[in-house]
Amino acid sequence: MEPIELKSQYRHALLPEPSSEELSRQDFVKSLKFHLASTISTGNKNAFDGRAARRFEKAEGRPPETMHDVRRAMQGDPYFNFWSALQRNSQEMMWKSVQMPVERQLGDLIERAAGDEGPGSLTLDPDVAVPAYHTAVDIHCMPGGYHTEFTENDVANGAVYDRAVYIYAMGRMGPFNSDIGDTAIALIKSRFPDLKPRRILDMGCAVGHSTLPYCDAWPEAEVHAIDVGAPVLRYAHGRARSLGYPVHFSQQNAESTRFPDGHFDLIVSHILVHETSARAIRAIMREARRLLAPGGVVLHGETPPYRDLPAYDAFMLDWDTRNNNEPFWGASHEIEPARIAAETGFDPDKAFEAYQPSAFEAAEQERTKVFQGGDFGGGGAWYFWGVQK
Amino acid sequence: MSGQADGARIELQKKAKGERPAYFSDPAIDKILSITMALAGEVAVMRDRLDTVERLLEGGGPVTQEAIEAYRPDPSVREERDAIRERFLENILRIVHQEREELARKAEERAPYGEAVQLVEAL
C-alpha cells in the first residue's frame, strides 16, 4: 500500500471523483469554513464583551451569566447575525459543492457499490420506518438527510455525506474521516483494558467512517453497524469492501433492533446522540442494555456538554440547534450520563464520562481548539459518555 | 471522465427540509449575501483554473481543455492555492474584519484598569 497522504481524503473506490472545477469549488468551501472558524468567529467574543454584554447589563442591571443570558444578549447583535449568515451559507455551499460531482456520476457510483466482491455483508429492510427526528427537518441541512432515495439502489447521499464530512471537518478527522472512532477506541482500550469484545455494534453508522477502525482495533471481533438510511448503508458497504473491511451493515433502528439479547460486548455510537430525540436516546440506552452481555460497555461520542463550558462557549456551540437543522443538539448537550443510565435500567455507578484527545495528530496545527458552531471538529478532543453493564 | 448520459441524470434535492432562518430584516439582504458568496466561490474557481493554465504553459506542454481538466494540483500547489484563497477571503471580507477589529478595541477598553496594574505587577 502506498503511504497515506494525510492532507487529502483517501480515494477509495466509491469516493466521487470531482472535476477540476468541482474540486476547486470544494476547496473554496473548505477555505471559507476555515476562515470563518479561525478569524471571523473570534469577533463574536469581542461583540459580546465590547457591546452585547454591556447592553444586557444596562437593561437587566446584572451581567449575563448563563448561556441563556448570552443568547439574549447576542440576539440581534449585527456582527453575530452577519457571521451566522455567512456560516449558514458556507454550510449550504458545502452541500451544493459535493452534490454536483455526485449527480454527475451517480450511475457509476451505484454500480460500484453493487458489486459482490469483498468481505462483509449488507442487509436492507424497507420496513424500517425512518423516525420523525430524521424526517422533521433535514439534519445539518443535508438535502434529503440520510434516508431519502432519489433513484433505485441509491447511494447519492452516502457519497454526498462522505465528502461533506471531510470538508466540514476541514480534513482534521483524517484521510478516512475516522477520528471519532479512532479516539473512542483509544479511550476504550485505556479505560477497559480487559474488554475483549467478541461482537461490536456501531449504532447510526452512516457511511461507516468510525466503524472501520474497530476492525483494526479488535481483528478477532465481528463488527456490525446499523443505520436507518438505506442510501448511506449501500455506500458504507461498498466503501468498507473496497477498503477490505469485513463489516456487517444492516438497516435497523437503534431504538429497537433484531439482534438477540446479550449479543454484544461493545456498543458504540459517534455523533449519533444529537441526531435523535429525548425519547429515542432513552430507548436506545434500554436497547443497549438488552443487547449487552454482562460486563459489556456502551459508549457514545459527542462534543462537550454545556455544563463543562463557559457560558459564552456553550452559547457558540449551541449555534447548530437553531441555525443548522440540529433540533436535538441543545437538549442532547444537557444529558447527564449517570441519570440517563439510572433511567434506562443500568447501574448509575457504572456510568462514566471522559474527554479523549483527538487521535489524528496530523491536524494539530490547524485546530482552533474551540468547540464552536459550524466547526465542531476543531476542538482537538472528543467527549464520550457511557456505562458498563 | 465517466458519467451518465444527460437523459439519465438524477437530480438531487437542492434545499434542505426545514425553515431557513432569516438573518436580516429585509429578506433581499439574505438573498444578496448568498449570491455574493456564491460569486466569490466562482471567482476562486476561475483563479484556480487560471493558475492551472499558467502552470501548464510554464511546463511547456499543450494547453488544451483536456490538459486543464486532467491537471491535478500536487500538495505543494494546493498549499499555495490555500494561501491565495485565504488572502482572497481576507480581502473580500475586509468590511467584516474591520468591524471585528473595532469590536476588539472596544472589548479591550472595557477591561478594568486594575487588570493592567495586576499584569504589570506580575511581570
Question: Which A residues in the span 295-334 are in contact with B, Cβ-Cβ below 8 Å?
Answer: 322-323, 325
- Mean pLDDT, range B64-83, rounded to an integer: 94
Does residue A355 fall inside a structural domain?
Answer: yes
Place A368 in a pLDDT band, splitting at 50, 70 and 90.
confident
Among A304, A389, A306, CA closest to A341: A389
Does residue B123 fall inside a structural domain?
Answer: no
Amino acid at A16: P
pLDDT of A225 strictly over 70:
yes
Q: Domain tally for chain B?
A: 1
Q: How far is Cα A123 from Cα A257, in angstroms, rounded to an integer?
A: 13
pLDDT in tens, A273-291: 999 999 999 999 999 999 9
Q: Which segments within chain A are labelled E, that is strand?
A: 121-123, 199-203, 222-227, 247-251, 264-270, 292-302, 351-357, 381-388
In contact, A318 and A334? CB cutoff 8 Å: no
B60: left (phi over 0), alpha (psi -120 to 50) or beta: left
Place B47 in a pLDDT band, splitting at 50, 70 and 90.
very high
pLDDT of A123 strictly over 70:
yes
User: What is the torsional sign of CA B110, B112, B117, B120?
Assistant: negative
Element (H, E) at A97: helix A78-104
- Cross-chain residue pair B104–A46, CB shorter than 8 Å: yes
pLDDT of A375 strictly over 70:
yes
Does residue A58 fall inside a structural domain?
Answer: no
Helix (H, G, I), strand (E, B) or coil at A77: coil
- Cross-chain residue pair A150–B10, CB shorter than 8 Å: yes
Please state, rounded to an integer, the average pLDDT across all residues of chain A: 94
Taking the whole predicted model, whether its pTM rises above 0.90 is answered as yes
Does residue B89 fall inside a structural domain?
Answer: yes
B87 part of contact set with chain A, CB < 8 Å = no
User: What is the torsional sign of CA A44, A47, A53, A55?
Assistant: negative
Helix axes A106-114, A78-104, angle to 10 degrees: 70
A99 part of contact set with chain B, CB < 8 Å = yes
Residue among A27, A103, A140, A163 with most chain B CBs within 10 A, to mutate: A27
Residue-level length of chain B: 123
Does residue A103 fall inside a structural domain?
Answer: no
Alpha helix (H) residue ranges in A292-350: 311-317, 319-323, 329-332, 337-343
pLDDT of A48 strictly over 60:
yes
Buried b / exposed e over A374-384, threshold 16 CB at 10 Å, is bbbbbbbbbbb
A13 part of contact set with chain B, CB < 8 Å = no
Does residue A205 fall inside a structural domain?
Answer: yes
Place A97 in a pLDDT band, splitting at 50, 70 and 90.
very high
Among A267, A273, A42, CA closest to B103: A42
**What confidence score (pLDDT) does residue B107 get?**
81
**What confidence score (pLDDT) does residue B5 get?**
46
pLDDT of B110 strictly over 90:
no
In contact, A184 and A211? CB cutoff 8 Å: no
**What confidence score (pLDDT) does residue A167 get?**
93
Does residue A220 fall inside a structural domain?
Answer: yes
Does residue A20 fall inside a structural domain?
Answer: no
Give the count of beta carbons closer than 10 Å to the beta carbon of residue B118. Answer: 11
B6 part of contact set with chain A, CB < 8 Å = no
In contact, B85 and A27? CB cutoff 8 Å: yes
- Cross-chain residue pair B4–A21, CB shorter than 8 Å: no
Q: Domain tally for chain A?
A: 1
Place B3 in a pLDDT band, splitting at 50, 70 and 90.
very low
pLDDT in tens, A131-147: 999 999 999 999 999 99
Does residue B99 fall inside a structural domain?
Answer: yes
In contact, A383 and A304? CB cutoff 8 Å: yes
In contact, A14 and A238? CB cutoff 8 Å: yes
The boundaries of the domain holding residue B77 are: 27-114
pLDDT of A22 strictly over 70:
yes
Place A2 in a pLDDT band, splitting at 50, 70 and 90.
low
Place B4 in a pLDDT band, splitting at 50, 70 and 90.
very low
Q: What is the ipTM score, two decimals?
A: 0.92
- Mean pLDDT, range A8-29, rounded to an integer: 95
Place B2 in a pLDDT band, splitting at 50, 70 and 90.
very low
Q: How far is Cα B102 from Cα B97, in angstroms, rounded to an integer?
A: 8
Among A203, A213, A230, CA closest to A123: A230
Among A116, A326, A150, CA closest to A241: A116
Q: How far is Cα A329 from Cα A8, in angstroms, rounded to an integer?
A: 29
Residue of A104, A150, A325 lying closest to B18 (CB–CB): A325
**What confidence score (pLDDT) does residue A379 get?**
79
- Which residues touch B113 (CB under 8 Å, ≥6 apart)? none
**What confidence score (pLDDT) does residue A37 get?**
94
Amino acid at A89: N
Q: What strands lie across the sheet with A292-302, from one edge to the other?
A: A121-123, A247-251, A222-227, A199-203, A264-270, A292-302, A381-388, A351-357
Any idea what DSSP says for residue A382?
E
Question: Which A residues in the span 198-217 are in contact with B, Cβ-Cβ below 8 Å?
Answer: none
A384: CATH: 3.40.50.150
Does residue A312 fall inside a structural domain?
Answer: yes
**What confidence score (pLDDT) does residue B1 get?**
39
Q: How far is Cα A180 from Cα A173, in angstroms, rounded to an integer?
A: 7
Among A270, A246, A35, CA closest to A165: A270
Residue among B20, B23, B84 with most chain A CBs within 10 A, to mutate: B23
Does residue B52 fall inside a structural domain?
Answer: yes
**What confidence score (pLDDT) does residue A117 get?**
80
Least confidently predicted of A37-41, A269-273, A302-306, A367-371? A367-371
Angle at A141 between CA A113 and CA A328, to 5 degrees: 105
The boundaries of the domain holding residue A243 are: 164-388
pLDDT of B15 strictly over 90:
yes
Helix (H, G, I), strand (E, B) or coil at A123: strand
Burial class (CB in 10 A: 0-12, 13-18, 19+), A219: exposed
**What confidence score (pLDDT) does residue A87 get?**
97
Least confidently predicted of A112-116, A269-273, B107-111? B107-111
Place A380 in a pLDDT band, splitting at 50, 70 and 90.
confident
Q: Which residue do the cell numbers 476562515 mark?
A: A35
Q: How distant, in Å, are the alpha carbons of A15, A233, A344, B9, B44 from that of A259?
A: 31, 18, 19, 39, 50
- Cross-chain residue pair B48–A20, CB shorter than 8 Å: yes
Does residue A8 fall inside a structural domain?
Answer: no
**What confidence score (pLDDT) does residue B119 get?**
78
Percent of chain A with pLDDT over 90: 90
- Mean pLDDT, range B89-110, rounded to an integer: 92
* Residue A265 phi, psi (nearest 5): -100, -20
Q: How distant, in Å, are the alpha carbons of A46, B15, B105, B109 from that of B117?
A: 22, 55, 19, 14
Helix (H, G, I), strand (E, B) or coil at A200: strand
